Amino acid sequence: MPTDITNTSDELFEIFVNAQTFKTILHSFDDLCQSIRIDRKIIGYGKRSLYKVLTSKLTSWKSKSLWTKIDKRGSQKEYENGNACADMKVCIVGAGPVGLRLAIECALLGARCIVVEKRDRFSRHNVLHLWPYIITDLRNLGAKVFYGKFATGQIEHISIRQLQCILLKIALVLGVEIYSNVTFIDVIEPISTQQAWRAHFKPEAHPIVSTYEFSVLIGADGRRNSLQGFQHKEFRGKLAIGITCNFINHHTREEQNFEEISGVAKIYNPQFFSELQQQTSIDLENIVYYKNDTHYFVMTAKKQSLLDKGVILQDYPDAARLLARDNVNSTQLCKFACEAAQFATKCSTQFAFEFAEDHHGAADVQMFDFTSLFHAVNASRIIERNGKQILMLLVGDSLLESFWPTGSGIGLGFFGLFDTAWSILKFAKHEHPLKVLVERESIYMLLSQSTPENTKNNHQLYSINPATRYQNSNSKSCTIDEIRYLYDSDSIP
């Protein structure tokens, strides 16, 4: 028979499930834990200990359907029932989709995992195209419990903020500790054999993170990666100016009839683009439109068209100077985005697109430079000081930036984080550092070439083991000599 306490807790679980902001998710989860008297110090960290208590105390049909999903994923043999990395402590920098999804893997492996995030809001309306395996992955983790619209019909996209909300909730129930308004600054080496690796954070005197000792550090902090010691290379293509914009979706009948454009490029549909140019003088290379919580558009615009329409004020050869804030007329940029949206949706002349707000409260329209994309030269490093090793790994945009209109950002991001979790597992098993590094760097060589077409197609069998996902996962395509420089130990003379 359910008790009063169970009823109250189930109601609090419902509030947690429905919470829609970073802050309210964290608060409602604290309330839920308090209501079932969870004391982290008593139940311990890692080994999925918090999750086990939650599953025993929360028994509504909704919570049970979530536990069934998570238990199924958690039964994969690599996790050893949540004991595979039981003695491991992980620190993840950045609560973007990739950092949060990796935190879930660390918790499933049984590690204690802390995520620090410098912001306290999830505000990106922009929409991610999801490769099919990501839909399977999220569905198998119970995403639908938190977002009923997920994976209904043909929908294969989700806003960045909604994805963060879902992943944050799953990470929390699995016992991941998440601290907002905390910025990672740098690692602190152990200066004696009694000490372990820690880090400097801002604020410095944070009660938990400032004393947290860990042996795995993950850079999941987006394109401006802040982990020291990783080199990045630039891939420079021809000038590519991306524009993203979000308009409020009022869900009117007319809006319901707008047809999504999952990606149309000039070379494949020249008529669309020449009509657009004739009617509006807008010259685009491609355009994507997704109907989500907002109407979201991403397009690549020709420079001359932006100059002609007064969006860019003066021409400069350097892309950064060209797109500098003082060289862009934001009113004209809004007009440009509206006109392109009106043409692409074939809306009636009475229909007026109204911008959604970005996190500054301004019209949500942005111009990005895709001319140069960065990728890390290596994905991993191991440093050893005074007998203590730290494994440092990059994931997501910190590792490999990609061109958004193809959806490869999150597609490759998830692949890379599974590979990363595999390295954490090997490190936890005390494999020799050089062996861990050879495997990680060998698998990293496959990442940028991966597409939905050339990876394995049984997505239900995907796990953190690269062999379940890549067609030819050679874990020794690098030699020890090639990666030796990534192992920096004070015990090697």
Q: What 3 state SS string does the chain have? A: CCCHHHHHHHHHHHHHHHCCCHHHHHHHHHHHHHHCCCCHHHHCCCCCHHHHHHHHHCCCHHHHHHHHHHHHHHCCHHHHHHCCCCCCEEEEECCCHHHHHHHHHHHHCCCEEEEEECCCCCCCCCEEECCHHHHHHHHHCCHHHHCCCCCCCCCCEEEHHHHHHHHHHHHHHCCCEEEECCEEEEEECCCCCCCCCEEEEECCCCCCHHHCCCCEEEECCCCCCCCCCCCEEEEECCCCEEEEEEEECCCCHHHHCCCCEEEEECCCCHHHHHHHHHHHCCCEEEEEEEECCEEEEEEEECHHHHHHCCCECCCCCCHHHHCCHHHECHHHHHHHHHHHHHHHHCCCCCCCCCECECCCCCECEEEEECCEEEEECCCEEEEEECCEEEEEEECHHHCECCCHHHCHHHHHHHHHHHHHHHHHHHHHCCCCHHHHHHHHHHHHHHHCCCCCCCECCCHHHCCCCHHHCECCCCCCCCCHHHHHHHEEECCCC
In angstroms, the CA 487 to CA 480 distance is 10
| C-beta closer to ligand FAD: residue 158 or 338 | 158
Q: Which is nearer to ligand FAD, 134 or 338 (CB)?
A: 134
420 binds ligand FAD (CB under 6 A): no
Q: Tell the residue number behind the tokens 């490093």, with chain if given.
A: 381
Identified binder of ligand FAD from the candidate list 66, 90, 93, 383, rule CB under 6 A: 93
Q: Please report, as residue ranges, which positions from 366 to 385 form the binding site for ligand FAD (by CB under 6 A).
A: none
| Min dist. Cβ of residue 408 to ligand FAD (A) | 8
Nearer to ligand FAD, 35 or 244 (CB): 244
Which among 49-57, 187-195, 273-281, 407-415 is the span making contact with ligand FAD, rule CB under 6 A?
407-415
Q: Which of 97, 110, 175, 433 touches ligand FAD by CB under 6 A?
A: 97
* Residue 410 near ligand FAD by CB under 6 A: yes
User: What's the token pair of residue 450?
Assistant: 């991966």
> For ligand FAD, which residue of 221, 283, 293, 419 counts as binding (CB under 6 A)?
221
Q: Tell me the number of residues near ligand FAD by CB under 6 A.
A: 30
Nearer to ligand FAD by C-beta: 75 or 181? Answer: 181
Nearer Cβ to ligand FAD (136/406):
406
Nearer to ligand FAD, 246 or 389 (CB): 246
Q: Binding of ligand FAD at residue 160 (CB under 6 A)?
A: yes
Report the residue count for the chain.
493
Tell me which stretch binds ligand FAD (CB under 6 A): 37-45, 186-194, 347-355, 401-409.
401-409
Site string for ligand FAD, 116-155 (x = CB under 6 A): xxxx----x-x-x---------------------------
Q: Which amino acid is at 166?
A: I
22 binds ligand FAD (CB under 6 A): no
Contact pattern from residue 279 through residue 318 relative to ligand FAD, giving x for each residue in contact according to CB under 6 A and a dash for the rest: -------------------x--------------------
Site membership for ligand FAD, residue 110 (CB under 6 A): no
Our finding on whether 276 is near ligand FAD (CB under 6 A) is no
Which member of 51, 184, 370, 487 binds ligand FAD (CB under 6 A)? Answer: 184
- Is residue 98 a contact residue for ligand FAD (CB under 6 A)? yes
CB of 199 to ligand FAD, least distance (A): 10
Provide the minimum distance between the beta carbon of 138 and ligand FAD in the complex, in angstroms, as a whole number: 14
Q: Which range, of 51-59, 94-102, 435-443, 445-453, touches ligand FAD by CB under 6 A? A: 94-102
Binding site for ligand FAD (CB under 6 A): 93-99, 116-119, 124, 126, 128, 160, 183-184, 220-222, 226, 244, 298, 396-397, 404, 407, 409-410, 413
